[in-house]
Chain A
């Protein structure tokens, strides 16, 4: 057992524990005096379970895990297909299995399984070159589950698969200029078409195609309240459990998508600085693992994981501040939720295993 604990990377563990503490405090405050008063406790149980899974994975040989990536990927596809048929419909979309009274969202785990399998495939080929077939294969592996997820529909989740497609080929040797050129083309073309080419009703159709569940007017209200919460927090915040926006329910969905706003309101800019600094350290340590990895597959997995974490950070923290469109993407350690929490910890467990192996050998 002591052997197993030794597999935990102290620097990563310290950051994780700190972020978990901030997240739990936020949920405690945000859930107060609402029907969700116990959500911090429930989330703590998920965190505990996640830590155990992380410990288990960290002490395993990563190569054994990579060996199961293909069957895991197949099982994941089946699960995504099954959820469309037998899944529970909540709020207009079918994303969840009901298991023992708990909702389970297979797409959360599938994201990491896809990353695992694509890393495994591309990592077992020649380094420093990416041939067309290989690239096309990777695109297919990522886009297929994305399409299944968009059927639910869940645009935010589908988009969170994109770092896999972007980062692993780049690490493998895809010329950076192509990626940059492609991104520029999409960016400028899309912006131009949006700004000058499309009529308002066409824009509406595009938006509805991308996200049928979006209530385009209602979400403006949510973000507006979130910005008021963040802005009114000021430098030092209104104090724990003392944020008027959070405590008086002006802040919407404050235990999931907008949990970070509650933190920002009550702990102010200093609290934001602390949380974002910890996320920076988390990303940095994950990238350290990529640098230290023994195999290409392990390195790709870590880099991709850093990409996924970074995307969640950017989209959620940016969105609640009104800087990005309102796309439901959870913030690790802050947003309450079982499936996402367990998935994040599983990924972190594998990363710790990779770090541990790099130290041992």
Chain B
């Protein structure tokens, strides 16, 4: 039978034909749905994954000393990063990656999660500042994890290493707490100043990030650039610091713990501010490295992270006697000529207070008492004063407040008063008159920061000007070395009586001319100042003291200014656990004055170099001042 004559076959083939066209129409409808109805939605998805906005990080401004020597430089560094859209999602990938890079898997997973949650921003940095070996390792790891990429980015270099660690601070990635505390200010992964001037000057230094819109392929490779807004580099800043003087301070303190502050009396600029032991900010640049934490943060014996110059509270010892003398003169309980007899000890309120000289100084005027640093004289003077009189004088001359230096986390000097005792010691809120006697020689409850002390001696040097110590000197106007000075912070006239001032000035002069610091006198420059020895512990007698451990020895202080005739700088020096102030702190001050007035002009120190080797740099060449 001919199939063409079969009705059943014909019917079924006819039905099949209808079904075939039905299938075609069904598919057309599916595509109409996707391509016509939902076109906009898919169009947007396609754009989203192919067009990316990538940030262009702005180079941070350099930091120069007052002469234009670089303290902080930018160099290029290679980082191993993950671009935001390439962040891995699978936990096993993250774990394997962490193992390959020797990172903590849990911390990495958390970090990836937080980067995914936040919209735009910088790529996630896995390893920073790769050296040659690091690059080789990174390339090997990249072969296994193709979503990793290498990024060339500017890197901070602190040229003096430990020279000005506390002043400069360091930069790092903005942390989560800070982002939560100040929402909307920072972007995830942004580099900000963490400590020191990097932190306080962050706004000035950071510049404005640019961005570019690019077309990327599936691997995230840039295929085309739709246009970009270039980054604006942060402005380079001059600090008031003098790198040479800072170096002198560093060398003078050497291995000893302590602090040095030198102020410019013209404007309150900080010429040197050194805290020992210092730290090397370069070591803080590797974000995920725990080494530095071990080395510094957990190292609580010498506490290198504490900036002793602005955060260390030291009993001022005899350096405080000038404030007590001023309080006595202004209160009228004593005249400069009023003689006070020192027999080596004196009893107040039933307790024996001893002088440093057991045989006694005899009868002393105020100038003599300052020069000889007689304790009995100042016990007697303090006994005629109320603690609140001393506090009022300290308040008048700025010792009770922060100095206002442009560094983060400055501490306030501690000047006791009745109100202070009530607050500080709720169990025993009463102020005892005997406590005032100790304060009279700068012991007991009183404590000052080296910066606060330097500022007080700057006030004496300027006959009553209360300066605001500061580090910010000015902007660098362009790539040339032109300094565009910043306005000088205002100073306050405290109204120091010139007659009273003359007495104090003479007392300080006598200290160095023939008093306790006579050994530190300079021929060419008349440096004046006051020694101080702050007790750390109380001992029965001196032979006992000599056998004590170093950490129980007294702190040595010296504060003053130079030259006496027309003062230009004021300074404060603290050497921890060094014993008598005249033998340890005054020589440091002498070196500072020697450099500043004599060697700096004749034979200046070279600019800071640092130990770091730049992998990209051409062979070393002499660095000229900017």
The reply to whether A235 and B27 form a contact with Cβ atoms under 8 Å apart is: no
Closest Cβ of chain A to B53, distance in Å, is 16
Taken together as a complex, chains A and B put the C-alpha atoms of A233 and B23 apart, in Å, by 22
Given A230-B42, A290-B13 in contact, is the A321-B34 Cβ separation under 8 Å?
Answer: yes
Given A232-B39, A234-B35, A299-B3 in contact, is the A287-B28 Cβ separation under 8 Å?
Answer: no
Closest Cβ of chain B to A84, distance in Å, is 33
Closest Cβ of chain B to A291, distance in Å, is 5
Number of interface residues of A (CB under 8 A): 52
In B1-55, the 8 Å CB interface with A consists of 1-4, 6, 8-10, 12-13, 16-17, 20-21, 23-24, 27-28, 30-32, 34-36, 38-39, 41-43, 45-47, 49-50
B215 at the A/B interface (Cβ < 8 Å)? yes
Selecting from A42-50, A51-59, A276-284, the interface stretch reads: A276-284
B218 at the A/B interface (Cβ < 8 Å)? yes
The reply to whether A128 and B8 form a contact with Cβ atoms under 8 Å apart is: yes
A299 contact from B9, B32, B46, B47, Cβ within 8 A: B9
A127 contact from B6, B20, B21, B41, Cβ within 8 A: B6
- In the complex, what residues of B have CB within 8 A of residue A298's CB? 3
Taken together as a complex, chains A and B put the C-alpha atoms of A76 and B216 apart, in Å, by 47
Selecting from A5-13, A96-104, A306-314, the interface stretch reads: A306-314
Given A128-B6, A303-B13 in contact, is the A231-B34 Cβ separation under 8 Å?
Answer: yes
The reply to whether A235 and B6 form a contact with Cβ atoms under 8 Å apart is: no
A230 contact from B6, B10, B28, B34, Cβ within 8 A: B34
Taken together as a complex, chains A and B put the C-alpha atoms of A67 and B539 apart, in Å, by 122
The reply to whether A227 and B36 form a contact with Cβ atoms under 8 Å apart is: no
- In the complex, what residues of B have CB within 8 A of residue A269's CB? 31-32, 35-36
Given A250-B50, A269-B35 in contact, is the A292-B6 Cβ separation under 8 Å?
Answer: no
Closest Cβ of chain B to A19, distance in Å, is 13
- In the complex, what residues of B have CB within 8 A of residue A290's CB? 13
- In the complex, what residues of A have CB within 8 A of residue B219's CB? 249
- In the complex, what residues of B have CB within 8 A of residue A229's CB? 46
Number of interface residues of B (CB under 8 A): 40
- In the complex, what residues of A have CB within 8 A of residue B605's CB? none
The reply to whether B35 and A287 form a contact with Cβ atoms under 8 Å apart is: no
- In the complex, what residues of A have CB within 8 A of residue B39's CB? 231-235
Closest Cβ of chain A to B607, distance in Å, is 50
A256 at the A/B interface (Cβ < 8 Å)? no
Given A171-B12, A248-B218 in contact, is the A283-B20 Cβ separation under 8 Å?
Answer: yes
B93 at the A/B interface (Cβ < 8 Å)? no
Q: Max chain B CB contacts within 10 Å: which of A244, A298, A307? A: A244
A291 contact from B13, B21, B31, B46, Cβ within 8 A: B13
- In the complex, what residues of B have CB within 8 A of residue A145's CB? none
The reply to whether A273 and B42 form a contact with Cβ atoms under 8 Å apart is: no
B419 at the A/B interface (Cβ < 8 Å)? no
- In the complex, what residues of B have CB within 8 A of residue A307's CB? 16
A245 contact from B2, B6, B16, B46, Cβ within 8 A: B46
Taken together as a complex, chains A and B put the C-alpha atoms of A11 and B12 apart, in Å, by 23
The reply to whether A277 and B24 form a contact with Cβ atoms under 8 Å apart is: yes
The reply to whether A317 and B20 form a contact with Cβ atoms under 8 Å apart is: no
Binary interface encoding of chain A residues 263-279 relative to chain B, with 1 for a CB under 8 A from any of its CBs, else 0? 01000110011001101
- In the complex, what residues of B have CB within 8 A of residue A317's CB? 27
The reply to whether A231 and B3 form a contact with Cβ atoms under 8 Å apart is: no
Taken together as a complex, chains A and B put the C-alpha atoms of A145 and B326 apart, in Å, by 111
Taken together as a complex, chains A and B put the C-alpha atoms of A233 and B38 apart, in Å, by 10
In B196-228, the 8 Å CB interface with A consists of 215-219, 223
Given A227-B34, A248-B217, A293-B3 in contact, is the A273-B43 Cβ separation under 8 Å?
Answer: no
Which chain B residue lies CB-closest to A234? B39
A296 at the A/B interface (Cβ < 8 Å)? yes
The reply to whether B16 and A303 form a contact with Cβ atoms under 8 Å apart is: yes
Which chain B residue lies CB-closest to A287? B17
- In the complex, what residues of B have CB within 8 A of residue A292's CB? 4
- In the complex, what residues of A have CB within 8 A of residue B12's CB? 170-171, 176
A318 at the A/B interface (Cβ < 8 Å)? yes
The reply to whether B41 and A291 form a contact with Cβ atoms under 8 Å apart is: no
- In the complex, what residues of B have CB within 8 A of residue A287's CB? 13, 16-17, 20
By Cβ-Cβ distance, the 5 closest A-B pairs, closest first, are: A231-B42, A232-B46, A280-B24, A248-B217, A249-B218
Can you spell out 6 A-B residue pairs with CB atoms less than 8 angstroms apart? Answer: A231-B42, A232-B42, A250-B218, A264-B31, A292-B4, A303-B16
Residues of A within 8 A of B (CB): 127-128, 167, 170-171, 173, 176, 227-235, 244-245, 248-250, 264, 268-269, 272-273, 276-277, 279-280, 283-284, 287, 290-296, 298-299, 303, 306-307, 310, 313-314, 317-318, 321, 323
9 further A-B contacts with Cβ under 8 Å, apart from A248-B217, A283-B21, are A231-B39, A244-B50, A248-B215, A249-B218, A250-B218, A276-B31, A279-B24, A318-B30, A321-B27
